[in-house]
């Protein structure tokens, strides 16, 4: 029986407190004596607890109880800093932390974030914001951070265990007709019409278009070399970097109907010199996403029958669809759009430069036919510069 002065044991020590309850302490692998986080009614209970700790140490399963005493804010911010993230991905993660995760978990220690608290947080986010997509993104980030905490031996188990909570339901992809693409290009004005056409018939991503230089354009062969991307960060600054994937660095063969558009734009709006930007704003500076967005929203409001909320990025899906309808294979479409998905499954297929010329030619005939059909129905001249000059 333990006395009030405590007693020595083979592992750990137990002493009786003035309250009549018992306190247990044990030496961790580092030699530091650590008290139990609670007291015991009997010495037998304290004995059992010490035996469990001794077993954990012998099996290598022991974790420092103070290790997880770090706030989620501190750990998550360090987690982001330690990763080599693309600029826009880093912006997204910091936005998700600031707006969706830190208000709830910021000052909470890692080991205090439990599965019930995660469920409560998700339910609250869905109820108050109704934003299923952004909540799924925030949940995935939380799960990734906590999984690293498990790997770092700071917590025993990831508290993010809600099945399907990190999945996003893909929005229905919207496409425009050839006539609507022409109408959008017209409504955007002369400075931006080529960007509309390259977004649809390139099809190039907005950050790829922002990074194009004169040296990337071969007007004689109608080829554009996509070398890099210049996304705009949340602070308004552009940052030069790699394309979205290795497949994004590519040569795009344009359909013949864009020859005049491309030549005219380079003569009228592109900056001088090999490194001159292909697209600049009215004041001669790199265009801002916010300014271009206002022009885009105004332009799409002038186009009849365009799907509601049609985004500039939806031009890319329009290009995918038209290219496929023109007879291109899946691999041809992936190469043209700079996509790396299904790379392993389709690695045995090839889409060489000559094939890309054929794809561009098929796209040219598809668009031209659509313009002719529309003109015949309306009884007016065909739309698009190629048909206006009889090409």
Q: How far apart are CA 324 and CA 63, in angstroms?
A: 56
**pLDDT tens-place string over residues 58-81:** 887 777 776 667 899 999 999 999
**pLDDT tens-place string over residues 324-336:** 877 777 777 777 7
Please report the pLDDT score of residue 21 as a whole number. Answer: 93
pTM: 0.64
Residue 100: DSSP 8-state: I
Burial of 55 (0-12, 13-18, 19+ CB in 10 A): exposed
**pLDDT tens-place string over residues 158-168:** 999 999 999 88
| Contact predicate 303/184, CB 8 Å | yes
Nearest to 198 by CA among 337, 332, 321: 337
- Per domain, the residue ranges of the chain are 7-59, 72-151, 178-388
Across 134-138, 185-189, 191-195, 351-355, least confident range: 351-355
CATH superfamily name and code, 178-388: Intergrase catalytic core (1.10.443.10)
Share of the chain above pLDDT 70, in %: 86
Please report the pLDDT score of residue 329 as a whole number. Answer: 77
pLDDT of 213 above 90: yes
As a whole number, mean pLDDT of residues 115-123 equals 96
Nearest to 337 by CA among 305, 363, 307: 363
Please report the pLDDT score of residue 139 as a whole number. Answer: 96
Across 23-37, 93-107, 134-148, 342-356, least confident range: 342-356
Q: How confident is the model at residue 389 (pLDDT cuts 50, 70, 90)?
A: very low
Q: How far apart are CA 46 and CA 119, in angstroms?
A: 34
| Contact predicate 149/110, CB 8 Å | yes
Identify which has the larger pLDDT, 388 or 236.
236
Q: What does pLDDT average to over the chain?
A: 84
Q: Which residues contact 54 (CB under 8 A, 6 or more apart)?
A: 11, 12, 26
pLDDT of 381 above 60: yes
pLDDT of 222 above 60: yes
Identify which has the larger pLDDT, 261 or 130.
261
pLDDT of 347 above 50: no
Among 262-266, 339-343, 368-372, top mean pLDDT goes to 262-266
As a whole number, mean pLDDT of residues 264-284 equals 92
pLDDT of 379 above 60: yes
């Amino acid at each position: 029986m333990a006395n009030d002065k405590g007693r020595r044991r083979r592992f750990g020590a137990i002493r009786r407190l003035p309250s009549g309850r018992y306190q247990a302490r044990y030496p961790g692998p580092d030699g530091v004596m650590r008290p139990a986080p609670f007291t015991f009614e009997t010495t037998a209970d304290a004995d059992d607890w010490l035996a469990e700790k001794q077993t954990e140490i012998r099996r290598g399963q022991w974790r420092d109880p103070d290790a997880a005493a770090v706030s989620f804010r501190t750990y998550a911010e360090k987690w982001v800093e330690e990763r080599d993230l693309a600029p826009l991905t880093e912006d997204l993660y910091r936005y998700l932390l600031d707006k969706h995760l830190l208000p709830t978990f910021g000052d909470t220690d890692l080991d205090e974030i439990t599965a019930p608290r995660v469920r409560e947080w998700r339910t609250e986010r869905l109820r108050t914001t109704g934003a299923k997509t952004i909540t799924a993104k925030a949940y995935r980030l939380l799960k990734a951070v906590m999984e690293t905490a498990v790997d770092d031996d700071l917590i025993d188990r990831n508290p993010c265990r809600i099945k399907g909570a990190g999945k996003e339901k893909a929005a229905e992809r919207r496409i425009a007709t050839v006539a609507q693409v022409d109408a959008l290009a017209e409504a955007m004005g002369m400075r931006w019409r080529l960007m509309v056409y390259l977004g649809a018939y390139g099809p190039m991503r907005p950050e790829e278009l922002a990074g194009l230089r004169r040296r990337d354009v071969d007007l004689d062969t109608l080829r554009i070399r996509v070398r890099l991307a210049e996304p705009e960060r949340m602070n308004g600054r552009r940052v030069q970097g790699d394309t979205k994937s290795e497949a994004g660095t590519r040569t795009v063969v344009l359909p013949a109907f864009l020859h005049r558009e491309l030549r005219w734009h380079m003569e009228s709006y592109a900056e001088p010199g090999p490194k001159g930007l292909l697209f600049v704003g009215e004041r001669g500076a790199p265009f801002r996403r916010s300014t271009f967005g206002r022009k885009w929203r105004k332009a799409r409001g002038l186009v009849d029958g365009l799907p509601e909320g049609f985004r500039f990025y939806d031009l890319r899906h329009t290009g995918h669809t038209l290219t496929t309808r023109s007879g291109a294979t899946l691999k041809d479409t992936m190469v043209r759009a700079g996509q790396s998905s299904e790379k392993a499954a389709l690695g045995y297929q090839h889409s060489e430069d000559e094939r890309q010329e054929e794809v561009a030619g098929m796209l040219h005939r598809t668009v031209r036919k659509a313009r002719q059909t529309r003109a015949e129905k309306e009884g007016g001249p065909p739309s698009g510069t190629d048909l206006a000059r009889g090409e």
